[in-house]
Amino acid sequence: MSPDEKQIALSVSGNGNVPNASERAKARAFKFRMWWPYYLMLAPGIVYFLVFHYFPIYQAKLAFQDFRIFGDNVWVGLKYFEALLGSPAFYQVLLNTLIISTMKMVFFFPVPILLALLVNEVRGSSLRRFIQSAIYLPHFLSWVVVAGIFIAALSPSSGVFNEMRGWLGLAPHGFMTDSGAIRWVVVFSSIWQASGWDSLLYFAAIMAIDPQLYDAAEMDGANRWQKIIHVTLPGIAPTIATLFILNVGLFLNAGFDQVFNLANDAVRDQIDIIDTYVYRIGLQSGQFSLATAAGLFKGAIGMLMIVAAHTIAKRLTGKGVW
Amino acid sequence: MSFKHLLAAGTALAAITGLGGAALAQDEPVTITIINHESPRIEEQLARIEAAMAEKGINIDINQIGLPNAGYPDALSLRLLSGEVPDIIYFQGGDAEFAAQGILEDLRPWIAQSTYLKDALWPHNEVRLENYPYLLYVFPARTKSPVIRKDWLEQTGLAAPTSLDEWTEFLRVLSDSDYDGNGTQDTYGIIAPDNTAELDAIFNQSFGISSTWLADGNGEWIHSRVSDGEREKLEYYRMLYADGILDREFITSNWEIKEDKFYTGRVAIVAGTAGSVVDTYRTKMQQVHPDSELALLEPPDGLEAVNIAKEERGFAIHAMSDNKEAAFAFLDFMASPEGLMIDSMGYEGEHYTRDGDTYEVLPEMGLWYPRYWTVNPEYWTPPVDLLSSVAQASLEQGARYFTPDNAFVWPGELAANVDAAEQYYRSSVYRFVSGEWSMDQWDAYVQGWYDNGGQAMTDYARTVLDD
């Protein structure tokens, strides 16, 4: 141990004098020398969040200004929020966003957990690898491709799904143009595209469970179902809680790419979400301030929801992310 | 005319007539920057243009920033928001916000003093420039022309339809037949991709929809979308849909699917933009069916009115550019006979051959397209026909039926209302056409349209149109 380190150790243990400013500086420098590779690894992440998440917060002031490409923007207060809330379409857009997000939360969120549990029960390693590869694959397809697949598969005249309905004696149905069905198409296509990949985290959490717990359960006579209920699920409960809270934070991200590619005029009023509205009003109509106001509105609701979800989760499970 | 406009006009005139010419004649070239679509061989093409301009004593260096074709308007908006605005900008929408902020140059004084452009314009260009002087697109009005395979037209045994009743009968015969020979009568008469806009181009006039805003029985302006004519038109589309004449899946068919269905015989009639697009349809159809030709059909009562409020796309000059004179000189040169030859004909030996004054087009010409102007034929015609006869006829059809619309540019404050009304209209149209809604629900639809932004639009329109 170097003299500096001895001095720091004495200071920390309380056996020496209270460190002066110079000693505290030395201690900080020492800690930095100890940890600098980690700080270096952290740097790209910090820069990413600063540039893409914190700097835009400052630019959100555009929602309160008339945007000028050159010169100073003009402060207009809540003008664009009033315009937004005065637009009848925005309430429908907000409602669509909440409905689709809730449907995804209820019907999508459990699927990766179930998938991870099911895959974990597959005993043959080669079969398990095959199943994992098969369910991960759609994650690598863009929404342009996935939407194309669904539009073709659900076609009333030539889609495979309607052919299957025909085998059962059912008449063809235009799911892509049915305002009652389109939200289910959105949810189901999300599940098809992303649940396999999302199950990875849960599968990793299952792998981390101590095998001795399974051995002990088996000694106690537990069958496979009981082991899932009493060992696996409690073992991954913290992961489920954490991901649930993180998902609530992204609650209003109902899926721009997905909706943009699946929408058509027949059903747009059912699945037009805040993100597609912002795109249309902001980029296509050039109303950047109005679009920023809509985006900020979405962010504010998202923040309220994550705080509420966190509070509830902490009261129910005693676990939270802060 | 405001002082600001007078100042701008004066500056432009001074630049063109005096100071500017001297500046461009200098040895050092003036560098201008253009933002436009990505385009194959554009560097080579621009080098040819620079050389040809230099021969005329205009010394400029052209630097093009190419943006991808897919999502071009969005990419352009984001690029311009960075604050780096080039000398010339090709807009494909989204320009009104920039014009409202005074960033785009008023092109009228420049064109008035131009060498070529003032004569090269189409009549609709002149009207549009008066209404919105910031965007220039010297191109025929983008009317939609209905086309069919000529052999199918002959197989119907009917004359090409002219009235609405004849159109209905013609479409019904097509959908009841099996001209593609696949053993089933599964060919639709007509398709319109994404929405009914292409049908409207053909049928609007038949239902009295002669403009965007119509006078009602009390002489008040109402939007055509809540007019009696619109109701009758939707009832007609509804019949086409119910009888299997209109493609049942038109709403989920984009333009690629539309084309595919046309070339493979799953639909008999499509509408394409007059001129170049009709030519493309003909070329692609001949790739699938080498012996086929396309026939142009006449709409029952003329084509829908053409928006003359502004150009929908085109070139603008940055009002604060230091190189406005050079930028306009470039646009003007592209309207000169030399510029048009370079732009329209491609490369000698590759796209055409020349023997004295005799030109011959080579097959590669089908892959060439002009990047800038397609000028008024009364001003300049190429030495050979670059368009097929059906494409040329579609241009003439557009000119013959040209009627100006009374639509105008909406102020930014109404953007949310315009968007809401448009979305409401589009979804309602499908529900009426598909039968999901009964026509008895028309009054409820009209009220819904007014509630969804239509009232604000109508109130504003009456202030504009009554002026």
Q: b/e string for A75-100 if b means 16 or more Cβ within 10 A? A: eeeebbbebbeebbbbebbbebbbeb
Q: Return the structure tokens found at A154.
A: 């659900």
**DSSP one-letter code for B372:** S
Give how far Cα A271 sits from Cα of A57, A263, A276, B271, Å: 27, 7, 9, 29
User: Is the Cβ pair B412, A287 closer than 8 Å?
Assistant: yes
**Sequence ranges of the domains in chain B:** 30-140+311-376, 145-307+407-466
User: Is the Cβ pair B94, A269 closer than 8 Å?
Assistant: no
- Position B33 confidence tier, pLDDT thresholds 50, 70, 90: very high
User: Is the Cβ pair A281, B419 closer than 8 Å?
Assistant: yes
User: Is the Cβ pair A286, B412 closer than 8 Å?
Assistant: yes
In this predicted structure, the answer to whether residue B25 has a pLDDT above a threshold of 80 is no
- Position A3 confidence tier, pLDDT thresholds 50, 70, 90: low
Cα gap A278→B169, rounded to integer Å: 45
User: What ipTM was reported for this prediction?
Assistant: 0.77
Q: Which residue has the higher pLDDT, B385 or B33?
A: B33
Q: Return the structure tokens found at B212.
A: 């965007």
> With contact defined as beta carbons under 8 Å apart, do B195 and B251 qualify?
yes
The nearest CA of chain B is from the CA of A179 a distance in Å of: 10
The partner residues of B31 in beta bridges, in order of sequence, read B61
- SS3 for B26? coil
Using CA coordinates, name the residue in chain B closest to A93: B420
Q: Mean pLDDT in chain B?
A: 89
CATH fold of B30-140+311-376 reads D-Maltodextrin-Binding Protein; domain 2 (3.40.190)
pTM: 0.81
Of the candidates A42, A7, A1, A52, which has an alpha carbon nearest to the alpha carbon of residue A25?
A7
Within 8 A by CB and 6+ apart from A254, the residues are A96, A97, A100, A101, A104, A273, A274, A275
pLDDT of residue A170: 92
Using CA coordinates, name the residue in chain B closest to A294: B416
pLDDT per residue as tens digits for the range A73-125: 889 888 888 888 887 788 889 899 999 999 999 999 999 999 999 999 888 88
CATH class for the domain made up of B145-307+407-466: alpha beta
Within 8 A by CB and 6+ apart from B426, the residues are A265, A268, B195
Q: Which of B415, B424, B453 sits opposite A287 (nearest CB)?
A: B415
Q: If you write DSSP's letter for every residue of A143-208 in order, what string do you get?
A: HHHHHHHHHHHT-TTT-HHHHHHHHTTPPP--GGG-TTTHHHHHHHHHHHHHHHHHHHHHHHHHHT
pLDDT of residue B81: 78
> With contact defined as beta carbons under 8 Å apart, do A175 and A266 qualify?
no
- B427 interfacial to chain A (CB closer than 8 Å): yes
Helices and strands in chain B, H and E counts? 20, 12
Q: Which of B73, B103, B416 sits opposite A89 (nearest CB)?
A: B416
pLDDT per residue as tens digits for the range A229-267: 999 999 999 889 888 877 887 778 878 899 999 999 999
- B414 interfacial to chain A (CB closer than 8 Å): no
Whole-number percent of chain A with pLDDT over 70:
93
List chain B residues with CB under 8 Å of A86: 416
- B98 interfacial to chain A (CB closer than 8 Å): yes
pLDDT of residue A6: 55
Residue B294 main-chain phi, psi, to 5 deg: -100, 145
- Position B8 confidence tier, pLDDT thresholds 50, 70, 90: very low
Q: Which of A89, A151, A266 sits opposite B420 (nearest CB)?
A: A89
The nearest CA of chain A is from the CA of B171 a distance in Å of: 20
Cα gap B238→B431, rounded to integer Å: 9
The nearest CA of chain B is from the CA of A216 a distance in Å of: 57
Q: What is the mean pLDDT of residues A205-211?
A: 93
Q: What is the mean pLDDT of residues B198-220?
A: 95
pLDDT of residue B370: 87
The nearest CA of chain A is from the CA of B410 a distance in Å of: 10
- B417 interfacial to chain A (CB closer than 8 Å): yes
Q: How many CA atoms lie within 13 A of B126 on its CB side?
A: 10
Lowest pLDDT segment from B73-77, B132-136, B328-332, B448-452: B73-77
pLDDT of residue A7: 52
pLDDT of residue B217: 87
Candidates A67, A69, A155, A277, partner chain B, best to mutate (most B CBs within 10 A): A69
User: Is the Cβ pair B416, A155 closer than 8 Å?
Assistant: no
Q: Which residue has the higher pLDDT, B9 or A114?
A: A114
Q: Which residue has the higher pLDDT, A27 or B242?
A: B242
- Position B5 confidence tier, pLDDT thresholds 50, 70, 90: very low
Candidates B98, B249, B432, partner chain A, best to mutate (most A CBs within 10 A): B249
Domain A78-317 has CATH 3.40.50.1100: no
pLDDT of residue B428: 95
Q: Mean pLDDT in chain A?
A: 86
User: Is the Cβ pair A284, B94 closer than 8 Å?
Assistant: yes
The four Cα atoms B256, B257, B263, B266 give a dihedral, to 10 degrees, of -170
In this predicted structure, the answer to whether residue B1 has a pLDDT above a threshold of 90 is no
pLDDT per residue as tens digits for the range A169-200: 999 999 999 989 999 999 999 999 999 999 99
Q: What is the mean pLDDT of residues A255-283?
A: 89
**Sequence ranges of the domains in chain A:** 3-75, 78-317
Q: What is the mean pLDDT of residues B75-99?
A: 86
- Position B21 confidence tier, pLDDT thresholds 50, 70, 90: very low
The nearest CA of chain A is from the CA of B248 a distance in Å of: 9
The answer to whether the B30-140+311-376 and B145-307+407-466 domains have the same CATH topology is yes
pLDDT of residue B14: 42
- SS3 for B355? strand
Cα gap B54→B25, rounded to integer Å: 9
- SS3 for B215? strand
Q: Which residue has the higher pLDDT, A168 or B413?
A: A168
- What is the Cα gyration radius of chain A? 26
- Position B135 confidence tier, pLDDT thresholds 50, 70, 90: very high
User: Is the Cβ pair A287, B453 closer than 8 Å?
Assistant: no
